[in-house]
Amino acid sequence: MLPEYVTKIEGHGVLNIHFKECRARLEISEGERLFEAVLLGQDATRAPFITSRICGVCPTAHNLASIKAIENALSIKPNPITVELRELMLSGQIIFSHLLHLFFLVLPDYYQVASALKIAEKFPAEYHIALNLKRLSDKLLTVIGGRPIHPTLTTVGGFLKFPNKGDLVTLREDINEVLDEAEDFVKIFANISYPSLERKSEYLALNNGGYTFYDGEVLSSSGKKFLPENYKNYIKETVKDYSTAKFGHFAENGGFIVGALARLTLHQEKLNPKAQEMLKTIPHKFSAEVHNPFHNIPAQAIELLHFVEESAKIIDRLLKVNIPTTPPKPAISKPSKPTWGIGAVEAPRGILYHAYEIDTNGKIINADIVTPTVQNLTSLETDAEDLLRTLQLDQNDQKVCIKELEMLIRAYDPCITCSVH
């Protein structure tokens, strides 16, 4: 018999519940592709091509974290236009991934339909909005990165091709056209009543002063700070016998949360204006003191609007500068001694670390990739058990428990292929 894979999540996991012992686990059973071992012996400049293929949902995030890691190791400083374009891509990446999760994976749970294709039949207006947002994110990722899944135009040091102004002007107009719809999209998720579950947690997000997503130091809700370069001192991974994904822990505290919920909570006053307005309509507050994992859903919705606005802001800045037809090509020299480089970005699901050691021939001799889902897995297990305990107090039948636990898993938006990689 085949295991009952949880549907409508990214990758293969089985929900294993022991009702008597009150234990609930998402057992990750995705096959090991061994990306870190694949990288060994490769030319470092080839890593972004390889590592974007870790994930079809957030390939641009892996691609950029990989590029940043190599640039850090080889002391390459990309020019300001390159950085702006990367931020624009990453912004498009977050819209792309949140949209997929919110509309295609999560919403059927709350609309009481089997799949997003059924939403299309029953709620055609909502489906229409979702497709227009998808069109925008696909176009953003195509104009800047070459295509939405597995970018083709990015490279260590910069870009193989810069977009022309005409394409950016059209993109800017497209954003204007969908801005109202993006607000309507957030309203769908703002008006849902989510299951209640509450405990104190710890949230981690990058911070450089704004609603950070491309760089910065790591900030925690309890006030701890560290540089991404030092992640190994703070983020520990353990191997478990029932999971092909490792489990992340933060220092001595154990479970923690990264992703939309952590970012929104830590940076809520820095949201763009329309997203800020929408935040006011949400009936609960976002705080690590009263962590409810289901609130990751409205947090992602608000972020989606924020990043549509953010994309417009970045394009407006780019339209004011002269974008050269030929991108600059910084010299790439091999390190004089084996050197580590670490790159971190906010992927849609949270902080993503890529770390490589590069030898004097420019080859990768060590690689470590820590994905957001791995960092969230410990908390997911805690929340699953808390939820099961709460449900059992109400003496719900087992089917209700299973359904609600699956909803919890979906709310976490685990990216299982990322977590195993």
Partner 1 sequence: MTNPKIAIFDLTDCEGCELQFLALKEKLLEFANDFEIAAWRLVQPSENQLPKVDVAIIQGTIVTAKDQEIVKKVRERSKILVALGECARTGWIPAWIKKENQEEAIKYVYGPEYKPKRIDALPLKDLVKVDLELPGCPPEPKILEQFLEKIPELIKTNRHSEQSEESVANATSQTN
Q: How far is the CB of 56 from partner 1 (least distance, A)?
A: 2
CB 401 within 8 A of CB 391: yes
By CB under 8 A, residue 169 contacts partner 1: no
Query: Residue 159 corresponds to which tokens in the numbers above?
Result: 């870009």
Per-residue burial over 42-58, b if 16 or more Cβ lie within 10 Å, else e, is bebbbbbbbbbbbbebb
Angle, in degrees to the nearest 10, between helices 124-145 and 80-99: 150
User: Total residues contacting partner 1 (rule CB under 8 A)?
Assistant: 49
- Of the pair 196, 238, the CB lying nearest partner 1 is at 238
Question: For the purposes of burial, counting CB atoms within 10 Å of the CB of 291, is it exposed (0-12), middle (13-18) or buried (19 or more)?
Answer: buried
Cβ-based neighbours of 99, under 8 Å, separated by 6 or more: 130, 133, 134, 137, 304
By CB under 8 A, residue 56 contacts partner 1: yes
> Which residue of 16, 17, 23, 33 would you call a contact of partner 1, by CB under 8 A?
33
- Of the pair 77, 122, the CB lying nearest partner 1 is at 122
> Which residue of 20, 21, 223, 241 would you call a contact of partner 1, by CB under 8 A?
241
CB 191 within 8 A of CB 197: no
By CB under 8 A, residue 31 contacts partner 1: yes
- Of the pair 82, 373, the CB lying nearest partner 1 is at 373
By CB under 8 A, residue 30 contacts partner 1: yes
User: Considering only 26-34, 82-90, 176-184, 339-347, which stretch makes contact with partner 1 by CB under 8 A?
Assistant: 26-34
CA distance 219 to 288: 13
- Of the pair 50, 83, the CB lying nearest partner 1 is at 50
By CB under 8 A, residue 7 contacts partner 1: yes
User: Considering only 23-31, 160-168, 281-289, 370-378, which stretch makes contact with partner 1 by CB under 8 A?
Assistant: 23-31
Q: How far is the CB of 356 from partner 1 (least distance, A)?
A: 14
> Which residue of 23, 46, 53, 270 would you call a contact of partner 1, by CB under 8 A?
53
Cβ-based neighbours of 379, under 8 Å, separated by 6 or more: 201, 255, 256, 257, 293
By CB under 8 A, residue 372 contacts partner 1: no
Q: How many CB atoms lie within 10 A of CB 32?
A: 10
- Of the pair 172, 240, the CB lying nearest partner 1 is at 240
By CB under 8 A, residue 32 contacts partner 1: yes
User: Considering only 67-75, 240-248, 250-258, 307-315, which stretch makes contact with partner 1 by CB under 8 A?
Assistant: 240-248
Q: How far is the CB of 217 from partner 1 (least distance, A)?
A: 28
By CB under 8 A, residue 400 contacts partner 1: no
Instruction: For Cα atoms 145, 421, 108, give the angle at the middle one, nearest 5 degrees.
Output: 75
CA distance 103 to 219: 30
Q: How far is the CB of 134 from partner 1 (least distance, A)?
A: 6
Amino acid at 380: L
Q: What are phi and psi of 321, to 5 degrees?
A: -110, 165
By CB under 8 A, residue 38 contacts partner 1: yes
Give, in order, the Cα–Cα distances in Å from 175 to each of 98, 135, 277, 305, 319: 17, 10, 18, 11, 14
- Of the pair 219, 297, the CB lying nearest partner 1 is at 297
By CB under 8 A, residue 192 contacts partner 1: no
Q: How far is the CB of 301 from partner 1 (least distance, A)?
A: 18
Query: Residue 55 corresponds to which tokens in the numbers above?
Result: 């994930």
By CB under 8 A, residue 17 contacts partner 1: no
Query: Residue 85 corresponds to which tokens in the numbers above?
Result: 């374009």
By CB under 8 A, residue 2 contacts partner 1: yes
Q: How far is the CB of 232 from partner 1 (least distance, A)?
A: 15
List binders of partner 1 among 79-138 (CB under 8 A). Answer: 100, 104-105, 114-117, 120, 127, 131, 134-135, 138
Residue 166: closest CA among 315, 385, 314:
315
Instruction: Give the 3-state secondary structure of residue 320.
Output: coil
Angle, in degrees to the nearest 10, between helices 296-319 and 398-412: 20
- Of the pair 246, 249, the CB lying nearest partner 1 is at 246
CB 360 within 8 A of CB 68: no
Q: How far is the CB of 58 from partner 1 (least distance, A)?
A: 10
- Of the pair 40, 251, the CB lying nearest partner 1 is at 40
- Which residues bind to partner 1, rule: CB under 8 A? 2-5, 7-12, 29-38, 40, 50, 53-57, 59, 100, 104-105, 114-117, 120, 127, 131, 134-135, 138, 148-150, 239, 241, 244, 246, 417
